[in-house]
């Protein structure tokens, strides 16, 4: 899966590293789906836990 704008960015450079079309360090660009997927899942779990009353408000 890739962003539709990647093809447009590809017209302007021959560089095809993981971060050629985004402003992130290469290590983060390579693993961003995993990293931000975990952050999203944790946030979703926390939101559902608060909604269900499993986690008390401070």
Listed in sequence order, the residues at least 6 apart from 55 whose beta carbon sits closer than 8 Å to its beta carbon are: 46, 49
Low-confidence ranges of the chain (pLDDT < 50): none
Which parts of 1-58 fold into alpha helices (H)?
6-10, 26-52
pLDDT at 58 (0 to 100)? 67
């Amino acid at each position: 899966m890739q962003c539709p704008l990647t093809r447009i960015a590809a017209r302007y450079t021959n560089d095809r590293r993981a971060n050629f079309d985004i402003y992130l360090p290469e290590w983060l660009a390579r693993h961003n789906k995993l990293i931000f997927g975990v952050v999203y899942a944790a946030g979703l779990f926390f939101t559902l836990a608060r909604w269900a009353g499993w986690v008390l408000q401070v």
